[in-house]
Structure formats: C-alpha cells, structure tokens
C-alpha cells in the first residue's frame, strides 16, 4: 500500500489522481467519514458518507483498519473491507489521507506500506489554496491551518517527503518513488 498524507491543501489529492492514471496496478482506497457531503462530492467515490451513529457502530464492531476524530464529531477512517476488496482484485492500494491516519496505517502494515508526506511550500501557501477552493468557511480554514501547523511537525516520521512547490516536479518525484516501491523485490 502507498499512503499519501499532508495537511489540507498541500496537493496530495492532485498527486494521487495523477498516479492512478500512470499506474494501472493501483486502486484508490475510499475512506469513510461522518461529515456531511460537500458540493461536488459523490458517495462511494470521494468518501463513504455515513452517519455519526453508524460510524461509531463500525468502530465498536472493529470494522476499521484505522480511524480518528479529525474534528469534533467528524470521524474519518479506512474500512478493513475496502482494503480486502482491493487486494482480492490483485491491486496495490493508494491512499489519500490525513497525517495521523497515514502514520497509523504505516505502523500497522510495516514494510508492506510506503508513507509519503506532501510538504506545502508554506502555511501561507496552504491558506491561499484553501481559500481558492471556495468550499471552506473562514472558521474551517482557520481550524485547518491550526491543524496543519501540528501536522508539519510529523513529516519526518514518514518514509519519504515530497516538497510540492512545483507541481510538475512533485508529480515526477512521486512517480519515481512509487515505481521504485512497486518494483522492489
């Protein structure tokens, strides 16, 4: 499994979407979340959107490989059934997830996992990207920036760090890292 983690707005989703086009042996793992669907999102594609009560029930039933309460009553997690489903198809899993989720999966799966941190050029750059999405309130941007400052301190815990100050270079570097990981014997 290949795990891409970063603060919101760092570019991890763009990188993962690119890699899915380049490497047909990869399949995206759709995470579950308890937050409401945003405009333009699709259930089962962007996330599995489930109620808070259903999420807590799945936690109780040990159905997650990892999960966390990212913001109050907003849980995100990786369903064990999603991992098993992709592996049964003979595919390698690629994840786009928050920093703590990425570290938790990396710990669980050891050398079968590669954890990559996408480093933004600066906090100011992140804030500009979040503002340009036009999906966030000023309060949610402030909350995400506060979280990003903490997440950046965890970058050194990842196997690789990609600085996303130039998208073309970041995509090239991601391709090389993923190719090397998939072809190691």
Which string of DSSP letters, residue by residue, matches 110-124? GGG-EEEEEE-S-HH
Task: Give me the mean pLDDT over the 33-45 stretch.
Answer: 91
Q: Please say if the pLDDT value at position 137 is more than 90.
A: no
**Which of the given ranges, 7-16, 67-76, 173-182, has the highest pLDDT on average?**
173-182
What average pLDDT does this structure show over 33-42? 90
* Residue 99 falls in which region: left (phi positive, over 0), alpha (psi -120 to 50) or beta: alpha
177 sits in which H/E element = helix 167-182
How far apart, in whole angstroms, are the C-alpha atoms of residue 15 and residue 31? 17
User: Which residue bears the tokens 């920093």?
Assistant: 99
**Alpha helix segments (H runs only) across 11-137:** 12-22, 52-60, 80-88, 99-109, 123-133
Contact criterion met (CB below 8 Å) for 162 and 116? yes
**Chain centroid, CA 177 distance in Å:** 17
For the chain, the structural domain boundaries read 2-182
- pLDDT confidence band for 162 (50 / 70 / 90): very high
DSSP tag of 23: -
76-115: pLDDT as tens digits:
999 999 999 999 999 999 999 989 999 999 999 999 999 9
Q: Say how far apart CA 115 and CA 159 lie, in whole Å.
A: 5
Mean pLDDT value across residues 129-135: 72
pLDDT of residue 125 exceeding 80: no
pLDDT band at 148; cut points 50, 70, 90: confident
Largest CA distance in the chain: 48
- For the segment 57-72, what is each residue's pLDDT rounded down to a tens digit? 999 999 999 998 887 8
Percentage of the chain beyond pLDDT 70 is 98
Please report the sign of the dihedral spanned by the C-alpha atoms of residue 37, residue 42, residue 44, residue 46.
Answer: negative
The domain at 2-182 falls in which architecture?
A: 3-Layer(aba) Sandwich (3.40)
Mean of the pLDDT values across residues 18-32?
Answer: 96
Average pLDDT over residues 166-179: 97
Whether 185 has a pLDDT exceeding 60, the answer reads no
């Amino acid at each position: 499994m290949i795990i891409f983690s970063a603060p919101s707005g760092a570019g991890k989703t763009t990188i993962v979407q690119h890699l899915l086009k380049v490497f047909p042996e990869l399949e995206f793992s759709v995470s579950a979340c308890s937050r409401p669907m945003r405009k333009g999102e699709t259930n089962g594609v962007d996330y599995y959107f489930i109620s808070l009560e259903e999420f807590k029930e799945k936690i109780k039933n040990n159905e997650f490989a990892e999960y966390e309460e990212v913001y109050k009553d907003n849980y995100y997690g990786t369903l064990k059934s999603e991992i098993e489903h992709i592996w049964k198809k003979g595919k390698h899993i690629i994840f786009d997830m928050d920093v703590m989720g990425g570290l938790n999966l990396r710990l669980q799966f050891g050398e079968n996992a590669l954890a990559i941190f996408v480093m933004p050029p600066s906090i100011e750059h992140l804030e500009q990207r979040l503002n340009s999405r036009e999906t966030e309130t000023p309060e949610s941007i402030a909350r995400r920036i506060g979280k990003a400052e903490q997440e950046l301190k965890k970058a050194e815990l990842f196997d690789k760090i990609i600085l996303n100050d130039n998208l073309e270079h970041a995509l090239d570097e991601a391709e090389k890292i993923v190719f090397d990981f998939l072809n190691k014997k």
